[in-house]
Structure 1
Amino acid sequence: MAVALLWGAATGSLLTSAAYRLSVPPDQPWRRTAPDGTPLPPWPIPTRSLPLPALTAVLCAGLAAATGPRPELAVWLLATPVAVLLAVVDIRVHRLPDLLTLPLAAAIPAALGLAALLPAHAGDWPTALLATPALAALYLALHLLNPSGLAFGDVKLSLAAGASLGWYGWPTVLVGTFTAFASGALYGLLLIALRRANRRSTIPFGPFLLGGVYAGVVLGAVAAG
């Protein structure tokens, strides 16, 4: 768990600068300069900001505690900083960049395939592969029914979500998906109750989608023993 904490803190320290660069509206290019006009390097730079490193470290430690020393843990630890970055950008500008969602959609099934070749893994790669298009089809249908309620970026992100949840089986897919929509709905109702939104307001769904995946993976890992 100590290694997971250090990994989360180290990678989380890179997220503040990455989030600043990517938090722009869809019709604008990525930021290349700091607020004072100083050119930014093309790679993320470490910062001393505490919240994102602390959050990423806690999330990685939780995954390590639930998964144990199984090979799929490496996949979850590699994906966690990307997930945190996606959530931050979506909260800030309601955007899930293709720069992150599409590589993640390809990398997670491939990495889980490698994990399936190693002894002591606790998942099922064929189910992960089947769940990938299955969950994406659900999200695509919901997007087509209500484009303003569920953006196409969420559909792209659901590919990685399906693979991650499917690794631990179809019940985990159901748990993670239900958690995502239930938490998103509760948050929307809370905003309406506080009069900070109405029924036509849009909220970033990416953080809830990712939160559902995290909950499902943790519960699936614990159930897998």
Structure 2
Amino acid sequence: MAELLVVAAAAAYGAAAGPLTARPAFRLSVPEDAPRADRCPGGHPLPGWLGPGRCRPCGGTAYGPSGRLLALLTAAVCAGLAAGAGPRPELVVWLLLTPALVLLAAVDRSVHRLPDAVTLPLAAAAPALLGLAALLPEAAGSWPGALLGGAVLGVAYFVLFLINPRGMGFGDVKLAVTCGTALGWYGWGVVLWGTFAAFVLAAAYGWGLVLLGRARRTSALPFGPFMVFGTLAALTAGGLAV
């Protein structure tokens, strides 16, 4: 019963947090050298950063990614993570990281870039939060393993970036540090599965677009969303396995 309550609470949290990423996703979904969006499509100033993608002066007109989709997606992810981790300290870390990761996936899908304004704070927050979680006796992971996972996956993606900078952006390298830190908490098997899942999901999506005639084999694809959801899926499985 307690575990069901944890899952339900996590889903409710995700449903509430997801729509709040719509406005920052819109503001950050700009070309790399362009200033962040500070007005809605109708020209009205945006009221701060966090919030739903709706403009009151425009009569509630929506902008940016769908708030409902973000709510459903974030709620489903948070519920899955809660089912995997259960009422353990690391679940709080996963729930805090998830909205930011979903935000990155939305931005990368829109403009094929992962902004430093989110990737760099995440790369610092993940090890710090897991370090706090590791101090509690109920924690089921390894903080040194998390630190090593972040370092190794960051270096691995950096090598891929050097080999093929057109296929792997430097934003992916920065995101890999966060993903590797989270995955490393549960061990090297989870690091490998999370990384493998990202490439499999990306390949399946890319070939699906090719078969539908919506892309070519050489078309650029945003890799961030696959890193995010491969990581979250592996964390769910990792939590169930410990």
Question: What is the TM-score normalised by the length of structure 2?
Answer: 0.90
Deviations 1:184-221 (A, max 9, x none): 11211222222222222100000011111011111110
Q: Conserved in 1, the CA contact under 8 Å of 2:38 and 2:45?
A: yes
5+ long unaligned stretches in structure 2: 1-6, 55-66
- The 5 Å alignment of 1:37-186 reads 37-46=43-52, 49-186=67-204
Cα gap change, 1:47 to 1:31, in 2 (>3 Å): closer
5+ long unaligned stretches in structure 1: none
Q: 2:26 aligns with which of 12, 20, 23?
A: 20
Separation in 2 of the partners of 1:58 and 1:212? 14
Separation in 2 of the partners of 1:191 and 1:38? 36
Q: CA deviation at 1:60?
A: 0.6
Q: Conserved in 1, the CA contact under 8 Å of 2:198 and 2:230?
A: yes
Letter of the structure 2 residue corresponding to residue 165 of structure 1 = L
Letter of the structure 2 residue corresponding to residue 7 of structure 1 = Y
Q: CA deviation at 1:43?
A: 2.4
Letter of the structure 1 residue corresponding to residue 170 of structure 2 = F
Separation in 2 of the partners of 1:47 and 1:207? 20
Q: CA deviation at 1:46?
A: 3.3
Separation in 2 of the partners of 1:70 and 1:106? 21
Letter of the structure 2 residue corresponding to residue 103 of structure 1 = P
Q: Conserved in 1, the CA contact under 8 Å of 2:123 and 2:174?
A: yes
Separation in 2 of the partners of 1:54 and 1:168? 26
Identity %: 56
Q: Conserved in 1, the CA contact under 8 Å of 2:26 and 2:53?
A: no
Letter of the structure 1 residue corresponding to residue 118 of structure 2 = L
RMSD: 1.1
Separation in 1 of the partners of 2:115 and 2:122? 11
Question: What is the TM-score normalised by the length of structure 1?
Answer: 0.96
Quote the residue 1:222 is aligned against.
240
Cα gap change, 1:47 to 1:29, in 2 (>3 Å): closer
Letter of the structure 1 residue corresponding to residue 97 of structure 2 = A
Separation in 2 of the partners of 1:212 and 1:71? 22
Q: The residue matched to 1:128 in structure 2 has which SS?
A: helix
Q: The residue matched to 1:197 in structure 2 has which SS?
A: coil
Separation in 2 of the partners of 1:164 and 1:45? 26
